[in-house]
Structure 1
Amino acid sequence: MKATVADIARSCGLSTATVDRVLNNRAGASAANRQRVMEAARQLGYLPVVDQVALPSRPAHLEFFLPIGSNAFMIDLAKHIEDYAARLPLVASCRIHSLAGIAPGALQGAIENLSLKANGVGVIAVDHPRTRNILREVVEAGIRLVTLVSDVPAAPRSAYVGIDNRVAGRTAALLMGRFLGGRTGHLAMVVGSRSYRGHEEREMGFRSVLSEEFPNLTVSSAVEINDEPEVSYTATMKALHNEPELLGIYCVGAGRSGVAKALLEARPKKKPVFICHDLTRETRGYLVDDIADVVIDQNARLIAEQSVIRLLGSIASSAPYLTKKFIEPRLIFKENVPVQ
């Protein structure tokens, strides 16, 4: 038999009115009383649970701030968030804000449109002092926060949802070294934006493994393209011209289409090993057509689902932080491309 509001009130020694205010996330209850009520509700099994994460007892209003633009991964992520949230009775509403770029000013302008009903916010943002201050103000307003894909650890977020980006970069270097089988030569790196902590961590991980295990491979070109395909195209064409025997290309973030376009147009005598991130419609084609050799996928669908669940869990929890749990990246080759 499910516990009632009266059972929770008796268990924590508070009035049913106070318990009702806490469970419905209304003002008028102290932080200490909120903690007592939520702890009693958990112990009595009042709160629903998904994947060992306690969920709120009342539907919540969620909002996500994503730099979507023309980025195929971001487009997929936004769609998966909307689809999953629409199927959950505990999500009263889910609103996606498309940011006009990655600069802190773009986030600041979008945050001003945050609904007064919002209980939780998910965000992909650069790790910058202004960004951290914006996110701190959101949390101080009583709204729970999770970061997605690229973390901002100094912000008071309840959870980070995504892969371990440093491990992803290390994995890319290990694959690159194994593919090249002891050959000596140069590599090119196309970096989305070092303003993203995730991209910076991938580059660090990649360089670390090269230094540790493959000193015969040298990164001779590393261009920051700010996720612009045309810039990645120009940078790749230049690298292929300067290094006719370039051994490999690692695309850290977006800009994959520019690299692929350059490889198709330049037609080098021996195609460099091409490693990139995120399984999208276009990268599926690159794998099948032998343009890309492997895609390190961070699984947009799983990140979307976990971001919604972790936001709901943070709203239900009195703890400032949820248990840290990375999403495992998938290695996709042309022989194991999953069904869409």
Structure 2
Amino acid sequence: MANRPTTKDVAREAGVSVTTVDRALNGRMKVREDTLRKIAEAAHKVGYHGRVLLDERLDLSKPRLRLGVVLVKGGQEFYQNFAREVEAAMAARSDVRGEVIVRFTGSQSPDDFAREMLALGDKVDAIACVAINHQKLDETVQALKDRGLPVFSLLNDTAQGIRKMYLGLNNMKMGRTAAWVLTRTMRRPGKLAVFVGGNRWHGHDLREVGFRSFVRAEAPEFTVLDSLVNLETRQVTYEATLDLLARHSDLAGIYVAGGGMEGAIRALREKRPPGKVGLACNELTDVTRAALADGYVQMVMSTPLDELCSELIEAVVAARRDGANGESVQRFLDPRIYLPEML
């Protein structure tokens, strides 16, 4: 016990006075964070018994940051992964005491999105959402902004000009990429089908525009059929794909611009041999990975969730420092492209 380290040992190792060490320990007077960190590191180095208390003081010196995240379709693998990634990205930050509150909407109605966002507004410092485009959500985002809460649009650019940032993929390029793959890999020209989630997802509209513009300019030997709304559900996509296959013997390819690709994969497995009808879709899941391996999917364009969530937390930290106002910006990430030979 005679050799037990004391505050003098900690002070000597940290290069500060014993009085400063005492203030750091008892918390009666404020100590600068960099000094507190230096003292805590010194306490660990010399084995001082009060190092746990110093660690607690150091943690409490970090600003608290609470982020609310609104997602859709909580039962889908992609959005479950999304929730885990954003929580992990916040936990990885050492400069804040971060907390993420994730909410899943019960439907894709503007009322459900607005309700979840406004409810979170009383509990968090910023909100990030995957939401539809609708005037009610423009009003909701403006109301949150007026209260000093920045809002970040993810994957689909909601409330343009009001939200703090759009963070996601370049949807126009996604559509063009899908068209390039299908028109370049299918052995014969024919008809191409496009599924979109609904008319309120402008990101899907942009993917459709990109797809059609590429085919029109670069592959006029293909014909793009009228787009189909699948509400991003497997069953609707499955039934619609069966109908397409029955009505169009020359169907060459399908692009699922949003969710529900599992239904198209199921229909193709039942009615066509691998590679007879090309399929381009989004997000690498157990189902799409298996379909790639079996030749039913020609390409998967996947959102880099780890990168997106890290960038989101970085932007939220900056917004907490700078406030909700300021320039409204877009940040495009590069998709991860998966082809059969890459598995």
Do the two structures share a fold, i.e. TM-score over 0.5? yes
Q: Which amino acid aligns with 2:180?
A: L
Deviations 1:276-302 (A, max 9, x none): 011222211111121111101122222
Describe the SS at the equivalent of 1:137: helix
- After superposing the two structures, state which structure 1 stretch, 155-164 or 140-149, moved more: 155-164
Asked whether 1:305 is paired with 2:310, we answer yes
Return the TM-score normalized by structure 2.
Answer: 0.77
Q: How many angstroms apart in 1 are the aligned matches of 2:166 and 2:65?
A: 19
8 Å contact from structure 1 (residues 122, 311) kept in 2: no
Q: How many angstroms apart in 1 are the aligned matches of 2:99 and 2:281?
A: 34
State the match for 1:199 in structure 2.
204
Deviations 1:206-230 (A, max 9, x none): 0111111111111224210111110
Structure 1 residues 173 and 70 mapped into 2: Cα distance closer, same or farther (>3 Å)? same
- After superposing the two structures, state which structure 1 stretch, 71-80 or 151-160, moved more: 151-160
Asked whether 1:320 is paired with 2:326, we answer yes
Q: Which amino acid aligns with 1:71?
A: Q
- Using the TM superposition, give the Cα deviation of residue 194 of structure 1 relative to its aligned residue in structure 2, in angstroms: 2.6
- Using the TM superposition, give the Cα deviation of residue 162 of structure 1 relative to its aligned residue in structure 2, in angstroms: 0.4
Q: Which amino acid aligns with 1:204?
A: V
Asked whether 1:166 is paired with 2:172, we answer yes
State the match for 1:184 in structure 2.
189
Runs of 4+ in 1 over 6 A off after TM superposition: none
State the match for 1:284 in structure 2.
289
State the match for 1:137 in structure 2.
143
Q: Which amino acid aligns with 1:213?
A: E
- After superposing the two structures, state which structure 1 stretch, 119-128 or 297-306, moved more: 297-306
State the match for 1:126 in structure 2.
132
Q: How many angstroms apart in 2 are the aligned matches of 1:335 and 1:317?
A: 46
State the match for 1:71 in structure 2.
76
Q: How many angstroms apart in 1 are the aligned matches of 2:275 and 2:261?
A: 19
How many aligned positions are there?
281
Q: Which amino acid aligns with 1:241?
A: A
8 Å contact from structure 1 (residues 295, 333) kept in 2: yes
Which 5+ residue runs of structure 2 have no aligned equivalent?
1-61
Asked whether 1:61 is paired with 2:92, we answer no
Among 219, 236, 244, the alignment partner of 2:249 is 244
Q: How many angstroms apart in 1 are the aligned matches of 2:270 and 2:64?
A: 52
Describe the SS at the equivalent of 1:113: helix
- Using the TM superposition, give the Cα deviation of residue 112 of structure 1 relative to its aligned residue in structure 2, in angstroms: 3.8
User: Relative to total residues, which structure has the larger helix share, 1 or 2?
Assistant: 2
State the match for 1:217 in structure 2.
222
Which 5+ residue runs of structure 1 have no aligned equivalent?
1-56
Deviations 1:110-154 (A, max 9, x none): 134215341111011111111111111111111111110010253
Larger relative contact order, structure 1 or 2 (CA cutoff 8 Å, min sep 6):
1
Q: How many angstroms apart in 1 are the aligned matches of 2:217 and 2:126?
A: 42
Return the TM-score normalized by structure 1.
Answer: 0.78
Bigger radius of gyration among the two: 2
Structure 1 residues 195 and 323 mapped into 2: Cα distance closer, same or farther (>3 Å)? closer
State the match for 2:26 in structure 1.
none
Q: How many angstroms apart in 1 are the aligned matches of 2:319 and 2:268?
A: 45
Q: How many angstroms apart in 1 are the aligned matches of 2:210 and 2:142?
A: 29
Asked whether 1:114 is paired with 2:120, we answer yes
Q: Which amino acid aligns with 1:121?
A: I
Describe the SS at the equivalent of 2:251: coil
Q: Percent identity?
A: 26
- After superposing the two structures, state which structure 1 stretch, 198-207 or 311-320, moved more: 311-320
